[in-house]
Amino acid sequence: MTTANAPAKRSLAQTLKPYRLVFAVAALYAVAALASPERALQAASVALSTFVGVAPIIVAVFAGLGLVQVFVDKQAMARHLGDRAGLPALLVAAAAGTILVGPVFVIFPLLKTMRDHGTSWAIITTTLTAWAVKLPMVPLEIGFLGWRFSLARMTLTLVTAVVMGALMGRLMRGQSAERDMEAEPEAA
Amino acid sequence: MDPTGVIYLAGVGIAYAVFWRKSQDRSKSALRAGAKSFSGMLPTFIAVFGLVGLFDVFIPPALIEQWMGSSSGALSLLVGTGLGTIAAGPPAAAYPIAATLLKSGAWAPAVAAFIVSWVLVGLVSLPMESKIFGVRFAVLRNGLSMVAAAVIGLLMGVVL
């Protein structure tokens, strides 16, 4: 299994990628400035005022993110989810997924470890899907799209997480795990 | 200054005060972890906000209307889901783009599908997901998630 190498390789790509994007956008601005200096300036001022408008929210979100990262014990959460089954387990997994914080190359291996310790595919899928709720980022989402949008998206994502878990539990049945049979939830 | 930002800052400040009494060391490392995540994401923020500005001034709303407008129906939904699938990056970058799309006249369900597929489906991370969980799991999960994104988008159109 090459999972051990994946994080290092991935994090290097991860550090380079954002800067590439900054250069690309700077190049676009250069082209825009050549085409129409006043419109390029207007674009820059829209960019700046958008950023300044949400800067306090961004600072608050990342300060909160730090708290979640340090005070939520991912390993303990994984152990807690491991030996559960059925619909209540999916609900717990959905709740756990929402406070899970971290990039793909941290979350995937963590869930893989859970899987290796016998956690059902259903639980893995539900946790992974609920991770898409991104609860710590919600203030920023509300700032840009409004609380109705954010609330509706979160609720529907959570429902999807449970449905997807049950569905994937069925579709993955018999895939490389004898323990699936006992850990499989009967909810579908 | 935006009052909501101040309210969030006050909330986080209170949370830190509570955790500070529990453990100073861990609160400090929480601040460090937050600062580290922020500095890691700062280039993306700069790029995305820069892009939002360009978008706002140079992309004609008619183009957005045509591809993601409500009159285009299923096509809009497909375009929204597709864009979110291809896009990679922190969700924090998706929100300003989505807000710009909405302002330019994009259909709300299409924008919702865009956000949901952005956070739920990862074309870029598909090889990694396949390697870790197996191809069957990765393809099924991402495929189902794309369908889910479109369905959630439609349902959000009803709610909003």
Confidence bin at A10 (pLDDT 50/70/90): low
- Residues of chain A with Cβ-Cβ distance to B144 below 8 Å are 164, 167-168
Please tell me the pTM assigned to this model.
0.81
Residue pair A129/A157 in contact by the 8 Å Cβ criterion: yes
What pLDDT sits at residue A182? 41
Do residues B149 and B113 lie in contact, with contact meaning Cβ atoms separated by under 8 Å? yes
Separation between Cα atoms, residue B70 and residue B105, nearest integer Å: 8
**In this predicted complex, what is the ipTM?**
0.85
Q: Which residues in chain A touch residue B156, judged by CB atoms under 8 angstroms apart?
A: 149, 152-153, 156
The answer, yes or no, to whether residue B123 has pLDDT greater than 70, is: yes
Q: Looking at residues A174-187, what average pLDDT do you find?
A: 48
Higher-pLDDT residue of A163, A106: A163
Lowest average pLDDT, out of A39-43, A172-176, B136-140, goes to A172-176
Nearest to A104 among B27, B29, B125 (CB): B125
Tokens of residue B132, six digits: 């870790």
Q: Which residue in B has a C-alpha nearest to residue A172's C-alpha? A: B137
Q: Is the per-residue pLDDT at A184 higher than 60?
A: no
Q: What angle do CA B149, B154, B157 make, to 5 degrees?
A: 125
Helix (H) or strand (E) holding B9: helix B3-22
Task: Specify whether the CB–CB gap between A134 and B95 falls below 8 A.
Answer: no
Contact between A175 and B133 using a beta-carbon 8 Å cutoff: no
pLDDT of residue A173: 86
| Tokens representing residue B83 in the block | 């864009």
Give pLDDT tens digits for B1-18.
567 788 889 999 999 999
Q: Name the average pLDDT for chain B.
A: 91
CA distances from B96 to A141, A142, B84 (A): 8, 11, 13
